[in-house]
Amino acid sequence: MDFLPINLRLRDQPVVLIGAGVVAARKARFLLGAGAQLTVVAPEQDSQFRALAETHELVWHAREYAPGDLGGAIMVIAATPDREVNAAVYAEAKSRGIPVNVVDSPNLCSFIFPAIVDRSPLTVAISSSGASPVLARSVRSRIEAMLPAATADIARFARLHRDRIRAAGDTEDERRHIWEQVIDGPVAQLILSNRWQAAEQALAELLESHRTSPVGEVYLIGAGPGDPELMTFKALRLLQRADIVLHDRLVNPDIVAMARRDADKLYVGKQRSDHSVPQDRINELLVELAQQGNRVARLKGGDPFVFGRGGEEIELLAQEKIPFQVVPGITAGNAAACYAGIPLTHRDYAQSVRFVTGHTKDGKLQHRWEEFLSETETLVFYMGLVGLPIICRELIAHGRPGDTAVALIERATLPSQRLLTGTLGTIESLVESASPQAPTLIIVGKVVDLADRLRWYGSG
C-alpha cells in the first residue's frame, strides 16, 4: 500500500492552494466542501475559479507564490503549470512538516486526492496511488451506480441512533449484529422509501427482539470453481457478515480472505484418504456454533448441492431448527467447460448433459455404464482423476468408440488452468506424461472437439 487512506477533518482549518486554474478549482471545491479556511495564491483566476470565489468565502492573494506563504497551514496543494514553482512549494511544505499534494506529480506528494463517492455523511474514497486516476474514476462510477442517493439518509439515521444502538448491545459482536440487521434489513429499506416513522418503529421492534437470547444462523455458500470474481453478490454479502467461516480445501484462499478480518476461519477440508474433520463432525459443528449465537458461513467449492454434500449439512440444521440459507455457486462442470471453450450442449453435437461422480470407492466406480452410451449426450465426471482408467475402460467396454473425444481440465478458472484433450483411447497416456493434479474435471463427448476453436482462457 503506497498511501494510507484516511479521513481528515478540515472544518475551520487553514489550507493553502497555490494556483487558480481549472484543476485548482476542482481541488478548491473539495476543500471548501469540507469546510476548510482556504487561502489561494495565484496571479490570475480562471473563470471557473472566479465563479467559485463568488459563492464561497476564501482569501485570494493575486500574486506569484513566495517562500513563507505556507506558514500556519495544515495542508498545501500546488496546482500550477510551472514545475519550478510546484517543486518549490513541495520543498517548503516538506521542510515545515506540512502534508502536500502537487497535482499530477506523485513523486512530489505526501498525500493524494482519491476519487470520491459522496453520500454524506457516508463517503467512499478510491485511489490508484497515483498510478491511474482514470481507473480510480471508473471504479467510482461503478460504486456510484450501486449506491442510491438515499444511502445518505441511512447514514444520517445511523448517526441519529448511534448511542441508542450502542446501549442495546453488551458486546462489540452484539452491537455489530444489530447494525447489520439495520443496514441490510427492513429498517434500511423503509428509509430508502422515505418512510422514516416506520423505520423508527422497525428499529424499536428490532431492539426489543434483541433482548431475547440470540439465535445464530448458517450460510451454506457455494464459492464457485476458484476464480473469486465468479462469486455471487449474495455469497459475498453473507460471507462478510459471518462471525465464523468453515472452508473446504477447494475454496480459493483469496475467497476466504474476503471474510471479515476478525472472523474466525476454520479449515475443514477433505481430500482422498485425508479428512481433517469428518463429515459428521462438520454437521455437528455447524449446529453447535449457531446455537452459541454465531453467524456461520460454510464455504464449499463449486455448488453445495452438486457433489458437495450440502444436503447432509443442512439436514441436521433443519432438524435442530437452526435458521439457514443456501447460496448457489457456479459448479465446476459449468465453469470448467466455459473456461475451456467447451459448450456442454450444442444443437449440432449434444442435446443433453450428465454430471457424474468419478470418485472411486475401494478402487471401483459403481455406475450403470450402459446409460452413458448416447453420442448426443455430454458426460462430465467430477473428481475423476484417479478413476480415469476405469472411466475409459468401462465406457469403451460398454460400446463407446475409442476415438470419442475427452478433455481433462486442471484447476479450472484459475491462472494456472491447464487443458488436456485426447480420446478415450489416448487420454490415459497423455495424463501419465502431463501429470495433472487435482482438482480436475473430465468431459467426454463430441463437444470437446470445439475447444480448439472456442478456447479463450489459459495456455496449457
Instruction: Flag whether 83 is in a domain.
Output: yes
Residue 250 corresponds to which cell in the numbers above?
Answer: 477447494
Same domain, 228 and 306: yes
Same domain, 306 and 369: no
Instruction: Flag whether 308 is in a domain.
Output: yes
Domain end position, chosen among 308, 330, 352: 330
- Active-site residue numbers? 248, 270
Residue 127 corresponds to which cell in the numbers above?
Answer: 485511489
Q: Which residues participate in the annotated binding site?
A: 22-23, 43-44, 225, 301-303, 306, 331-332, 383, 412
- What is the average per-residue pLDDT within 74-93? 96
Are β-strands 14-18 and 75-78 bridged in parallel, bridged antiparallel, or unpaired? parallel
Residue 131 corresponds to which cell in the numbers above?
Answer: 498510478
Is there a contact between 273 and 386 (Cβ–Cβ < 8 Å)?
A: no
Q: Is 307 left (phi over 0), alpha (psi -120 to 50) or beta?
A: left
Same domain, 238 and 300: yes
Sign of CA dihedral 48, 53, 55, 57: positive
Instruction: Flag whether 5 is in a domain.
Output: no
Q: What pLDDT is recorded for position 86?
A: 95
Span of 3-12, 171-180, 330-339, 394-403 with lowest mean pLDDT = 171-180
H helix intervals, 278-403 = 279-291, 310-319, 332-340, 388-397
Q: What pLDDT is recorded for position 175?
A: 84
Same domain, 449 and 337: yes
Instruction: Flag whether 450 is in a domain.
Output: yes
Same domain, 232 and 324: yes
Same domain, 104 and 184: no
Q: Which domain holds residue 323?
A: 217-330
Q: Rounded CA gap, 406 and 381, in Å?
A: 11
Is there a contact between 137 and 124 (Cβ–Cβ < 8 Å)?
A: no
Q: What pLDDT is recorded for position 111?
A: 93
Give the 3-state secondary structure of residue 331: coil
DSSP character for 214?
Answer: P
CATH number of the domain residue 259 falls in: 3.40.1010.10
Domains in the chain, number: 4
pLDDT tens across 136-187, in order?
A: 989 999 999 888 888 899 999 999 999 988 888 778 878 888 888 888 778 9
Instruction: Flag whether 134 is in a domain.
Output: no
pLDDT tens across 199-249, in order?
A: 999 999 888 877 665 668 999 999 999 999 999 989 998 999 899 999 998
Q: What pLDDT is recorded for position 293?
A: 84
Same domain, 298 and 364: no
Are β-strands 100-102 and 75-78 bridged in parallel, bridged antiparallel, or unpaired? parallel
Is there a contact between 223 and 230 (Cβ–Cβ < 8 Å)?
A: no
Q: What pLDDT is recorded for position 272?
A: 59
Residue 172 corresponds to which cell in the numbers above?
Answer: 462489540
Domain end position, chosen among 330, 348, 365: 330
Instruction: Flag whether 138 is in a domain.
Output: no
The alpha-carbon radius of gyration of the chain (Å, integer) is: 30
Same domain, 221 and 309: yes
Same domain, 422 and 450: yes
Buried b (16+ CB within 10 A) or exposed e, 313-327: bbeebeeeebebebb
Q: Which residues pair with 68 in a beta bridge?
A: none
Residue 60 corresponds to which cell in the numbers above?
Answer: 485570494
DSSP H or E run through 24: helix 22-33
Q: How many helices (H) and strands (E) does the chain have?
A: 17, 19
How would DSSP label each residue in 406-457?
A: EEEEESTTSTT-EEEEEETTTHHHHHHHH---SSEEEEESGGGGGHHHH--S
Q: Rounded CA gap, 68 and 77, in Å?
A: 15
**Non-local CB neighbours of 383 within 8 Å, separated by 6+ positions:** 307, 357, 358, 359, 438, 439
> What's the 3-state SS for 114-150?
CEEEEECCEEEEECCCCCCHHHHHHHHHHHHHHCCCC
Amino acid at 292: Q
Q: What pLDDT is recorded for position 364?
A: 87
Domain end position, chosen among 330, 349, 382: 330
Same domain, 20 and 71: yes
Instruction: Flag whether 131 is in a domain.
Output: no
Same domain, 76 and 31: yes
Ramachandran angles phi, psi of 432, nearest 5°: -60, -40
Q: Rounded CA gap, 363 and 5, in Å?
A: 56
Q: Which residues participate in the annotated binding site for NAD(+)?
A: 22-23, 43-44
Q: Rounded CA gap, 119 and 35, in Å?
A: 16
Instruction: Flag whether 71 is in a domain.
Output: yes
Q: What is the pTM of this model?
A: 0.69
pLDDT tens across 262-302, in order?
A: 899 999 986 655 556 888 999 999 999 999 888 999 999 99
Same domain, 202 and 232: no
Q: What pLDDT is recorded for position 385?
A: 93
DSSP character for 354?
Answer: E
Q: Rounded CA gap, 12 and 20, in Å?
A: 21
Q: Which residues participate in the annotated binding site for S-adenosyl-L-methionine?
A: 225, 301-303, 306, 331-332, 383, 412
Long-range contacts from 398-401, C-beta under 8 angstroms, 24+ separation? 398/369, 398/370, 398/372, 398/373, 399/370, 399/373, 400/372, 400/373, 400/424, 400/444
CATH number of the domain residue 449 falls in: 3.30.950.10
